[in-house]
Structure 1
Amino acid sequence: MTIKIKNVKDKLAANNYKMTSQRRIILESIIENEGEHLSAEEIYARVKEEEPGIGLATVYRTLELFCDLNILHQLNFDDNCRRYELNHENKHHHHLICINCGSITEFNDEILEDFETGIEQEHNFSVTDHRIKFYGYCKNCQ
């Protein structure tokens, strides 16, 4: 976790921002709950336990800043809730979403990466990002 925090601190400094104690506690909460795709309200509830004086608006502003600086990705799983995950450079992944229990499973598939390369070549198009979500039933809900 220390390396991730240092990398974010460096990125903030490079963009004339400081790693405040509130930004740090929000980042730590996201790192500690990596893979859970938390909403702003869920992040707020977790950081509020450790930092009772923090406000929901501070969490929203911090998440927006982290997204602007490409530290976080904002995700939409069609549940009317924005969710967040760390941006891992060079580690693109996709999501399987259970339509019964709402569980989210990450996966990486080289076939999809090869497909993207083919699209770029066939259409002379430079893909900068893509998001793929598969909906169905997890093993517990089948």
Structure 2
Amino acid sequence: MALENQELRKAGLKVTLPRVKIYQILERAGEGDHFSAEDIYKLLMEQGEDVGLATVYRVLTQFEAAGLVSRHHFDGGHSVFELAREEHHDHVVCVKCGRVREFTEPQVSEILDKVADELGFSITDRTLYLYGVCKGGCEESGKK
């Protein structure tokens, strides 16, 4: 049985062709790749799959509820998805082209833990988005 079928069943979801195809796209994503529902829809169309945009949104919402994917909401209503992972990471977002890069920096975590401790808190979750512009212009990022 394929890994994506196991993951879907483990999450309590019925194995359907749209779910399998969408999971495969997210699974094959490169390190740091994040896809909008529209990106996934376009990739499905390029593969000759007959899956509507509404179905893509519905499946991604189901995946999010089941803990299979993480949704990130960026300024301007831009939302992207990636497979959920155990290790924490943060994001840098280009305000011109929308490119998203992720990074892990242990010193950031240490500083935030220290700040929270000084304020009498224990961090249970966090989201850190840095906004900027791609160095050298957006053409180099592969998006315009």
- TM-score tier by shorter-chain length is 0.7 to 0.9
SS in 1 for 2:82: strand
Gaps of 5+ in 1: none
Q: Give 1:8 shift.
A: 1.9
Give the corresponding residue for 1:11. Answer: 10
Letter aligned with residue 61 of structure 1: R
Give the corresponding residue for 1:141. Answer: 137
Give the corresponding residue for 2:23. Answer: 27
In structure 2, which of residues 96, 119, 124 is the aligned counterpart of residue 128 of structure 1? Answer: 124
Displacement over 4 Å in runs of 4+ = none
Alpha-carbon distance between aligned partners in 1 of 2:48 and 2:64, rounded to the nearest angstrom: 22
Q: Give 1:124 shift.
A: 3.9
Alpha-carbon distance between aligned partners in 2 of 1:113 and 1:51, rounded to the nearest angstrom: 43
Q: 1:101/1:9 Cα in 2 relative to 1: closer, same or farther (>3 Å)?
A: closer
Give the corresponding residue for 1:65. Answer: 62
SS in 1 for 2:76: coil
In structure 1, which of residues 52, 55, 64 is the aligned counterpart of residue 52 of structure 2? Answer: 55
Q: TM-score, normalised by structure 1?
A: 0.80
The alignment covers a number of residue pairs equal to: 136
Q: TM-score, normalised by structure 2?
A: 0.79
* Backbone CA RMSD of aligned residues: 2.3
For the Cα contact (< 8 Å) 1:101–1:141, is it kept in 2?
no
Alpha-carbon distance between aligned partners in 1 of 2:19 and 2:54, rounded to the nearest angstrom: 12
Q: 1:109/1:23 Cα in 2 relative to 1: closer, same or farther (>3 Å)?
A: same
Gaps of 5+ in 2: 139-144
Alpha-carbon distance between aligned partners in 2 of 1:52 and 1:110, rounded to the nearest angstrom: 41
Q: Give 1:10 shift.
A: 4.2
Deviations 1:23-75 (A, max 9, x none): 01011112223433111111111113335321212111110011111111111
